């Protein structure tokens, strides 16, 4: 396997005339990076492409298909305007054939909610300090700050909204954790594409209920749906 990820990196913002220019470069990562699965390879490439440009933004939608691991990854800006961007990361094999992709829609909210939805009046940082081994049970998922910190360091995500007193769980990390659930192994397959809509930012430490059906998965707190995943079989 090659020891680098190749990107088509876009400089600047898309203008109305769609006159843009790209410069290509190679990023060489250490051996640890190649221990990542295909999904995290795409996520790490996305973070390297963003390079802090979209700190403060949240994910509104994700389209994705992951099949194995990649020798090369290309990233490109699909759309961009103030407070909004669409970025696509494509994974390719040694023959440069597309074998997976991750496309995200980002937006910059005016203000992110500061409360933990299921515990009104309880500071989020109190929930964050719950022991990790008390967090998850069958049918639920809770992401602790230490898990978020490990993920951020692994993929080199610098977005400050994922750290601090009112930290928000990275949406792509939630998707990664759900893919690891034994109860969802039949839902997440290599021969399918997925569309995820993020309806609300998810605070760190909040326990969500996983509601799974044949063609979809929802994360719910009380009566609030935080995001939905729909499956599209190829």
- The predicted model scores a pTM of 0.74
User: pLDDT digit string (tens) for 147-202?
Assistant: 999 999 988 899 999 999 889 999 999 999 998 888 898 898 877 899 999 999 99
Alpha helices in 136-186 (DSSP H): 145-155, 171-179
Question: Can 4-107 and 124-188+195-233 be said to share one CATH topology?
Answer: yes
Among candidate residues 49, 110, 52, the one with its CA nearest the CA of residue 83? 110
CATH code given to domain 4-107: 3.10.129
CATH of 124-188+195-233, one of 3.40.50.800, 3.40.47.10, 3.10.129.10, 3.10.450.50: 3.10.129.10
User: pLDDT digit string (tens) for 18-30?
Assistant: 223 233 333 333 3
Query: Are residues 108 and 57 in contact, defined by beta-carbon separation less than 8 angstroms?
Result: yes
Domain range summary for the chain, segments of one domain joined by +: 4-107, 124-188+195-233
Q: Which position has the token pair 């515990």?
A: 119
Query: Are residues 132 and 144 in contact, defined by beta-carbon separation less than 8 angstroms?
Result: yes
Query: Are residues 90 and 98 in contact, defined by beta-carbon separation less than 8 angstroms?
Result: yes
């Amino acid at each position: 396997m090659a020891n680098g990820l190749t990107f088509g990196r876009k400089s600047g913002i898309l203008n109305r005339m769609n006159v843009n220019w790209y410069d290509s470069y190679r990023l060489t990562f250490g051996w640890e990076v190649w221990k990542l699965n295909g999904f995290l390879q795409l996520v790490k490439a996305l973070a390297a492409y963003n390079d802090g440009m979209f700190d403060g933004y949240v994910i509104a939608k994700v389209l994705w298909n992951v099949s194995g691991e990649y020798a090369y990854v290309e990233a490109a800006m699909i759309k961009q305007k103030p407070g909004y961007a669409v970025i696509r990361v494509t994974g390719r094999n040694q023959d440069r054939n597309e074998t997976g992709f991750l496309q995200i829609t980002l937006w910059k909210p005016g203000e992110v909610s500061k409360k933990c939805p299921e515990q009104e009046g309880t500071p989020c940082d109190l929930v964050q300090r719950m022991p990790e081994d008390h967090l998850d049970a069958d049918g639920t998922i809770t992401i602790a700050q230490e898990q978020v910190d490990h993920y951020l360091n692994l993929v080199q995500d610098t977005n400050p909204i994922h750290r601090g007193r009112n930290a928000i769980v990275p949406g792509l990390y939630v998707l990664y954790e759900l893919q690891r659930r034994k109860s969802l192994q039949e839902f997440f397959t290599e021969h399918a594409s997925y569309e995820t809509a993020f309806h609300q930012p998810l605070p760190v430490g909040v326990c969500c209920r996983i509601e799974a059906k044949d063609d979809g998965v929802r994360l719910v707190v009380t009566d609030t749906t935080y995001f939905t995943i729909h499956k599209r079989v190829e």
